[in-house]
Structure 1
Amino acid sequence: MTLLRLSPLALSRSRFALSPLAETLASLHVLGAGYCDPWLVSWYDRHHGAFRALLDADPFAKGLVRLLRSTKWMPAHIVLPPAGGMRTTIDGELAEVARAPDALVRAELEKSVAHSWEEHDLGWLTGRDWAARTAELFRRTWTAHVAADWPRRRALLERDVTYRAGLLAAYGWPRALEQMNRHSAWVGADAIRFSHQGSPDRVVGDEGMLFVPVAAVSRGTWLCEAPPASYALVYPARGAAATAGRTGPGPALGRLIGTGRAAILHELERPATTSELAAHLGLSLGTVGGHLAVLRDAGLVTGTRVDRRVVYRRTASGDLLAGGADG
């Protein structure tokens, strides 16, 4: 079992962040496979062929992707804690990736080979400037296959953060970490179980750690580390499958309370802010705010302030009305 140990100060300073680099790595995993989760089929079908052609034309890229998809050790120069919080940019992250010296890259890739469940050699590791070539692969993957979908994914990721921030404000970190993945869990008063693998515990620095959701995978997680004691835990965002498969509120609910309010009540199956609802439903902030006021006055939704945002969720009456009308 691997534990991440946090002091009270580190715990109080831990927070959420977004990472376009982590989202690109997750997308690279999916595109490099011969299959995908059902809700990714449309995106996968549009991009898989072009991505495979990229790998076939570049032995370095092909060898690296195959290794990343079949190892329990993610190379440290690729999995870096995002430095920009919720505003982290792909350019900033790739600049950090490209700075790694060749000696570090080789050492990390050798560890990845040692922790792989497939046979590998590093015969594709030729030439020099391997970190820069890695950054270029990620940039091409981001530009061709992720960037156009990033606004939708970002909205989903921000919604996951909103949900967990609400749990954090109401119940504390153990509840906020609940069901992040199959392995992570709160242990005792000061530690997070990262995995069941036996390896030394990590001690998180006083600046706390980051929790980073990704949308392109439904399972699996990885740990980002930067010396001396900076850590980020990447985990699958909740709701990706449900969002792809949802069909909207039933017509009965729309006839009862109006189509706009019905759409918002249906969408609040998962808590969200006014801006998140507006972005997801394609409505103006004023329109969403007006509908929320009516729903709140009717006792169907309630709002909770989390930092500078108000997070709305359905009440028990809202759940009953939405569930009954949809059914």
Structure 2
Amino acid sequence: MVQRKSGHVTLLDIAQACGYSVSTVSIVLSEAPLSQNVAASTRDRIRKMATQLGYHPDAYARSLRRRRSQTIAVLAYDLSDPFCIPIVHGIQAGLQPGDYLPLLVDAQTQRKLFDSYLRMILERRAEGVIVIASWIFQETNLLEDVEKNQVPIVIVGRDLTPKKISSLLVDNEAGGALAMRHLIDLGHRQIAIVRGPEELFDTEPRWAGVQRTAVDAGIHLDRRLVFQLPNLTDSISGFEGGLRFSKEMIASGRAFTAVLAFDDLTALGVIRGLSDAGLNVPGDCSVVGFDDVLPAAVSTPGVTTIRQPLHEMGLMASEWTLEALKSREQNRKPVKLYKAPPELVVRTSTAPRMPASRRSGPPKSRLTI
């Protein structure tokens, strides 16, 4: 067998191994119409040799001929955030049937890295871009460059339709209202709130839903029990913020029987802090989160949360991207917006409010009314 000089198996390697010309091998393996003029035994021998050598077509060379890369860039602002993983899985499921390769890159919450990756995505001629905008995602002028190059772009987790970018996100206001309503239905009236970072897009609509539901129920929210996460650098900081604020809640001396946290990791931090103080969740205090990421489901207690249909949102993002590629060929550029309906997932971190006399917390606990 001929010794190959190149790293990958090429048509030349197969031709030399079989004793046929490169053009004959190419015609057979590409299943071109002319391959019917090649003897069946020759076609069979070439295909067997290709399999034996481990040959795979050169997608890069093919993309140069067709001027199509068959690649969709998936740019995550922070892939360490559990929020991102189900979305990525949904995107992969949506792209696979169309033989598109998802090129996954992680900006690690760094604006410069995000911009650098976006430039490289354009330079490498990705046919579409899906951005997963979690946490401190900030808009960038380079997104406009993507649009100017007529590359379909979809963003998950942010509404950028005013900038003519198709957007998928959960209905945050409805989600905040759903979480608050759940606690109220359980009999809780003194509820502590941990809001999201000020610069995060989701914060204000969730807070609006919480406030509206409280007003409708005639409940006064004690401002001394409303906390706001700082402008964080990564998703794990939410856990640390929840842990810190739970201690501040107890130290404040204000009565509360439930905590509504901005997201699941923050809720887990709150639960840890209450537990460290000798308090039981949900016996002494109920806690609800938001997102329904994996840690919320497997923790003890399991976190009651507001589910975002993350996998479905990723699947829809990929479908929109493929549709936009077809529309581009017809000179149509539809811009879409979808706000996914949130869903309450009840687990063991919430329970009906119990009278102070029946709670299991330590005698000096300031949770009691």
Q: Verify same fold: TM over 0.5.
A: no
Structure with the greater alpha carbon radius of gyration:
2
Structure with higher RCO (Cα < 8 A, 6+ apart): 1
Query: What is the TM-score normalised by the length of structure 2?
Result: 0.22
